[in-house]
Amino acid sequence: MNVSPLESQVLASESEAAPAPRVPRVKISKLTKRYERRGVLRSIDLELYPGERVALLGANGAGKTTLLRILATLSRPTSGTVSIAGHLTHKAAQAVRAQVGVVAHQPYLYEDLTAEENLRFFARMYSVADERSRIDEILFMVGLIARRGDRVGTFSRGMQQRLAIGRAILHKPALLLLDEPDSGLDREGARALERILGYQRTTEGTVLMTTHDLRFGLSAADRVLLLENGKIVLDAPAPTLDEDELDERLSRR
């Protein structure tokens, strides 16, 4: 096909103007998880994009933690596939783990090591470059620089939670999974969490968080998912949702 210089100029400018296709950071296809005969997650399809902050809501037992554990490669799906940053969890779990940071109900810290020793241990396990300055940066970010030499066992629940958040972002994960990150947080911790959510956005990191605090979920996230009986029944932008309506829907379960 012959293309005139004018046509080729138009085509070139069109191709420049066309937005690049959005590549999902997380792609979940037909994900099912059963414990014995009980279906916890039922054929979930979901895509999460870079820079997105997504709140995953649902009543107790809806399957929120199970979904997060599968994304973290701590649990294996019964069927379906999960891909994170282009790596399939069942084929390249190690590569997936390098891209994921997790804050769970338990802090995943060693109580008999100091805050700094904990971060050093995980920095080495994650092969973090420039370990010393990154540890300083994290301790500063979570407001624990003055307590770096103290054993984690002497920390309050809020301080442990702050350090757990610091541990989760130590290796600059592409996907941050937060399982009720606001529970047990002190005021300083809430500020640290806000800073970290902001930091994830500036670095195009994806955040998926579960919470029981609707107000926190709606204000911190830009997209809300509602999980009911192992299925996603609502997927909407956070600003379009009414807190009272959502609260009523959740308490009906």
Reduced 3-state DSSP string for 138-151: HHHHCCCHHHCCCE
Three-state DSSP state, 100: strand
Binding of residue 106 to other proteins (CB under 8 A): yes
Q: CB of 91: closest distance to other proteins in angstroms? A: 13
Please list every residue from 155 through 214 that binds other proteins, using CB under 8 A. Answer: 167
Q: CB of 253: closest distance to other proteins in angstroms? A: 24
Q: Which residues, 6+ apart, have CB-to-CB distance to 83 below 8 Å?
A: 26, 27, 28, 89
Please list every residue from 226 through 245 that binds other proteins, using CB under 8 A. Answer: none
Contact window for other proteins (CB under 8 A) among 19-27, 46-54, 106-114, 193-201: 106-114
Number of neighbouring beta carbons within 10 Å of residue 24: 17
How far is the C-alpha of 84 from the C-alpha of 225, rounded, in Å?
18
Nearer to other proteins, 73 or 200 (CB): 73
Q: Which residues, 6+ apart, have CB-to-CB distance to 6 below 8 Å?
A: none
Nearer to other proteins, 70 or 218 (CB): 70
Size of the site for other proteins (CB under 8 A): 31
Please list every residue from 133 through 152 that binds other proteins, using CB under 8 A. Answer: 151
Q: Which residues, 6+ apart, have CB-to-CB distance to 244 below 8 Å?
A: none
Q: Which residues, 6+ apart, have CB-to-CB distance to 99 below 8 Å?
A: 84, 85, 87, 173, 174, 175
Lay out the site mask for other proteins across 71-90 (x = CB under 8 A, - = otherwise).
-xxxxx--------------
Q: Which residues, 6+ apart, have CB-to-CB distance to 62 below 8 Å?
A: 227, 228, 229, 230, 253
Options 98, 141, 238, 250; binder of other proteins; rule CB under 8 A: 98
Lay out the site mask for other proteins across 22-41 (x = CB under 8 A, - = otherwise).
--------------------
CB 206 within 8 A of CB 49: yes
For the chain, what's the residue count? 253
Nearer to other proteins, 168 or 218 (CB): 168
Nearer to other proteins, 122 or 216 (CB): 122
Options 46, 85, 102, 218; binder of other proteins; rule CB under 8 A: 102
Three-state DSSP state, 66: helix
Nearer to other proteins, 147 or 167 (CB): 167
Reduced 3-state DSSP string for 78-90: CEEEEEECCEECC
Binding of residue 132 to other proteins (CB under 8 A): no
Three-state DSSP state, 18: coil
Binding of residue 250 to other proteins (CB under 8 A): no
Give the residues lining the site for other proteins (CB under 8 A). Answer: 69, 72-76, 94-95, 97-98, 100, 102, 104-113, 117, 121-122, 124-127, 151, 167
